[in-house]
Amino acid sequence: MNEDVPVDRRTWPRFGRVGLVTSGDARGQHVLLVAEVNDAWMLYLEPPWPNFRFGDSVFGFDNLIFWDSDAAIIADEWAVRWLDPGDEEAAVERAVFGVREQYEAFAARRSRRLSRGGVGGMASRRLGDLIRARRVIRASGRAARSLVGDEIVAVTYLSSSPGWPADSTLSPVVHEPDFAVFLGLRSGGEVLVCWEVIGDVGTLSVRADAAAERERARWVAVSAAEVSATAPWPELIGVPIESARMSGGRVPTGLHVGVRSGLSFEVRLGEWVDGRLSEVPNAVIVQFRR
């Protein structure tokens, strides 16, 4: 391993380099650093990563983007020792991260397109968006499954309107929170369900516990309304959750939850327009079913 490697995009390996953090909260964990387009870098961190900071950013998942201006943090604060390129470094990347092959495959497809006269454009940034979206989707699936067997004890809507629910109880079976739904659980856990747009990929994001609290902090400027007593939530409060799954295909647009009483609800992307659901990537509604 070598710590005297300048983080310089002009000499950085095309598909990133693996290193070991030797200082700070993440000491002993591996990183993968990939040079992105313009002055951006993609930094992947081996789990666990609860509230680890990198400059002004916080790891909510296992990766974040930073800029050339923060590159010195890698050496000065994290003291990363870089693995020498070769079979050992490649084996560590596959075992810990497993994303390099996606960069390589994307580059191969892009090369074939360019050879046929195609245009690459923002290809590298788009690939980073897709990788981040996949990881958000996988984390959302895990958070959704963690609901099974628990009970909802409190519900909060995060909305742009301080008057909720006066204008947002669209019918007995449809609510329009707008930004997000925050669920308090009998176990003491918390889940935040919100919309998230990564590049041009829009998905429904489900965050649990510490990740939910971090995500909720993003919405401090919006209105929070406690709606546990608003129909039909009282019929769902305190009833064991029997099923919870993401819905909508490979890029989820909904979270479907069923409880023992026979009721179910789905938090999904969209807004209610003229009596029907209009799918949009930056708003959520709640639909209740028996």
Contact (CB, 8 A) for 128 and 42: yes
Nearest CA to 60 out of 117, 2, 127, 139 is that of 139
Query: Which pTM was predicted?
Result: 0.56
Res 261: pLDDT: 76
Tokens 């800029």 identify what position? 67
Summarised one tens digit per residue, pLDDT across range 199-257 is: 667 788 898 876 666 666 555 545 778 889 988 899 999 999 999 999 877 788 899 99
- Burial class, 219, CB count within 10 angstroms (exposed 0-12 / middle 13-18 / buried 19+): middle
> Which DSSP string do the residues of 216-259 spell out, in sequence order?
HHTTTTSEEEE-TTSTTGGGTTT-BEEEEEEESSSS--EEEEEE
Burial profile 30-59: b = 16 or more Cβ within 10 angstroms, e = fewer:
bbbbbbbeeebbbbbbbeebeebebeeeeb
Res 120: pLDDT: 45
In tens digits, the chain (290 residues) has pLDDT values of 555 688 888 889 988 999 999 988 889 999 999 887 667 788 888 877 666 777 766 665 566 777 788 888 888 888 999 999 899 999 999 999 888 887 777 666 655 554 544 444 445 555 666 677 777 888 888 899 999 999 999 999 887 655 555 444 445 578 888 888 999 999 998 898 988 877 667 788 898 876 666 666 555 545 778 889 988 899 999 999 999 999 877 788 899 999 987 889 999 988 777 666 777 777 888 989 87
Summarised one tens digit per residue, pLDDT across range 59-75 is: 655 667 777 888 888 88
